[in-house]
A and B are shown apart, each in its own frame.
Chain A
């Protein structure tokens, strides 16, 4: 769930009868479960929404390198360091597949970066929280990647071919990430009192931001309804959140950790947990740029881009020189 509050430009959902023949044929293909491929006709709203969604997802992957990258140099053993390096490398790889998927919709990676750097494009709110202890690396894998998987598994069947195929590869790696995070937590939970406290503190800080990853309730959202009609979103935010809580609470109990929600209770009738609402004011504040790490995260990305300009220009200049030399030789 690295895309939140994705707008569709739809004022309301239209019926098949209200669509012109081209759009209607498009919608009928989606309804029949067909994949849409890059060169095919698509409504402008579909294209724009997908660009927003996929680029937001891609940006989340690359900004997400930062909080975890924090701990690579401090990882407590060589094996943990190697696993974390592999994980963060995977995230960068996910970013790459996703940027490539978005590029098939007629936007360049440079344009997407410019939107990220200007603040026009968003990334997941979760990465604006700090990683303060080693247990946070466990909590991110367990909770954040766990929440991401909830949404990404169904996206493997979404209507846009390149996005669906990128998601197949990504999901395989995310489930490894989730397991390594849970493993870090389980070692800490079985460790010294200080390690247990570290694990509990990480759960206390990451629990609510993880629930926020699904976004506020969207049962009344026209954007969500439109995205669902296009089959680029399959489940409501509340349904995914419920699924996440139902899956995660028993895991926390297995670890001997306490989920920081006084309202948490098993509801026999619905076959799931009742739980409290995250602080949505905090969510909107983070989205608006006021999370604990928004400024640092974005500045780090801008600095990487600006300070790397000479490098990228150097490579381009060399490629041009080489091409010119080949031309001169051929002439």
Chain B
């Protein structure tokens, strides 16, 4: 269970992958602030963004510590460029309408929760501790996003149509969560995380159950867009970073 039992590099990679997902999805959710369709949704989205930014601090803090190069969580968030980011393509996709934002959240949460539960058994205690804390928050995220997918899918004709369109659009970004690469193999070999593909059955069965209740059709095209985990992103991430990192880039070395 001790930290020294694992190689540093896979630990850093895992922490970056987890942290960058939280950071970028938290950023996207926070873009809704003051613009969502109901006051309760403004509150819920800000709350979820806040959870995700809190988790970012933990994961990137761990990555910085494990890397041992004197960088902080803020340095990792604010001073890396696009190719160094390790988040899934799914979380950087634009918000679109509120339905697309909810669907993106649901597809992600359905992976995030089982992933965090698996990470509670990681060979590194720090990973297990962060996963335990985060999984409590994410259990609530999943409950909420799944509930909204059901209500909107099985709502009006228009809400159904919008949710189906969101699902069809985002489906091709879901496969990346389960597509293992060489780094995933190292991470798994170090006992830090499960092989990505092993989470697919639990994800699939949960997603299919919710979509069935939502009267939404599971898309047939399983082609997966990949690249985010290894730093090959969509065009969108550069704009997110340009906005997010603006002050740190414009005033190098300043304290805030």
In contact, B33 and A304 (Cβ under 8 angstroms): no
> Which stretch, B114-122, B147-155, B183-191, B197-205, touches the partner chain A?
B147-155
In contact, A318 and B254 (Cβ under 8 angstroms): no
Tell whether B74 is near chain A: CB-to-CB under 8 Å: yes
In contact, A303 and B35 (Cβ under 8 angstroms): yes
Give Cα A78–Cα B57 distance, bound, in whole angstroms.
7
Interchain residue pairs with CB less than 8 A apart (12): A65-B33, A85-B46, A86-B50, A88-B34, A92-B39, A109-B39, A184-B256, A304-B34, A311-B98, A311-B152, A314-B159, A318-B152
Majority-rule SS of B interface residues: helix
In contact, B155 and A313 (Cβ under 8 angstroms): yes
- Given contacts A96-B40, A192-B251, A315-B151, are A89 and B98 in contact (CB under 8 A)? no
Task: List 5 additional contacts besides A85-B53, A311-B38, A311-B152; criterion CB under 8 Å.
Answer: A65-B42, A77-B74, A188-B256, A310-B159, A313-B158
Tell whether B5 is near chain A: CB-to-CB under 8 Å: no
Closest 9 A-B residue pairs measured CB to CB?
Answer: A308-B37, A314-B159, A314-B155, A65-B34, A69-B33, A89-B46, A76-B256, A76-B247, A311-B37
In contact, A74 and B244 (Cβ under 8 angstroms): yes
Tell whether A194 is near chain B: CB-to-CB under 8 Å: yes
Contact with A along B161-184 (1 / 0, CB 8 A): 010000000000000000000000
Contact with A along B96-121 (1 / 0, CB 8 A): 01110000000000000000000000
Q: Report the interface size for chain A: residues with CB under 8 A from the other chain.
A: 52
Give Cα A307–Cα B32 distance, bound, in whole angstroms.
13
Give Cα A75–Cα B255 distance, bound, in whole angstroms.
12
Candidates A78, A95, A188; contact of B74 at CB < 8 Å: A78
- Given contacts A78-B60, A88-B46, A311-B98, are A318 and B74 in contact (CB under 8 A)? no
Contact with B along A280-317 (1 / 0, CB 8 A): 00000000000000000000100111011111111111
Which partner residue on chain B sits nearest A313 by CB separation? B156
Give Cα A93–Cα B43 distance, bound, in whole angstroms.
7
Q: Which residues of A contact B98 (CB under 8 A)?
A: 307-308, 311
Give Cα A188–Cα B255 distance, bound, in whole angstroms.
8
Q: Which residues of A contact B23 (CB under 8 A)?
A: 78
In contact, B30 and A304 (Cβ under 8 angstroms): no
- Given contacts A92-B42, A134-B247, are A69 and B97 in contact (CB under 8 A)? no
List residues of B (15-58) whose CB comes within 8 Å of A's CBs.
Answer: 23, 27, 30-31, 33-43, 46-47, 49-50, 53-54, 56-57
Tell whether B73 is near chain A: CB-to-CB under 8 Å: yes
Contact residues of A with B, CB < 8 Å? 62-63, 65-66, 69, 72-82, 85-86, 88-89, 92-93, 95-96, 99, 109, 134, 184, 187-188, 191-192, 194-195, 300, 303-305, 307-319, 321
Give Cα A195–Cα B36 distance, bound, in whole angstroms.
33
In contact, B251 and A195 (Cβ under 8 angstroms): yes
Which partner residue on chain A sits nearest B37 by CB separation? A308
Specify which of B60, B248, B255 lies most central, judged by the most chain A CB atoms within 10 Å of its CB: B255
Give Cα A188–Cα B57 distance, bound, in whole angstroms.
23
Give Cα A76–Cα B23 distance, bound, in whole angstroms.
14
In contact, A194 and B251 (Cβ under 8 angstroms): yes
Specify which of A73, A99, A303, A311 lies most central, judged by the most chain B CB atoms within 10 Å of its CB: A311
Which partner residue on chain A sits nearest B253 by CB separation? A192
Tell whether B246 is near chain A: CB-to-CB under 8 Å: yes
Give Cα A149–Cα B160 distance, bound, in whole angstroms.
45
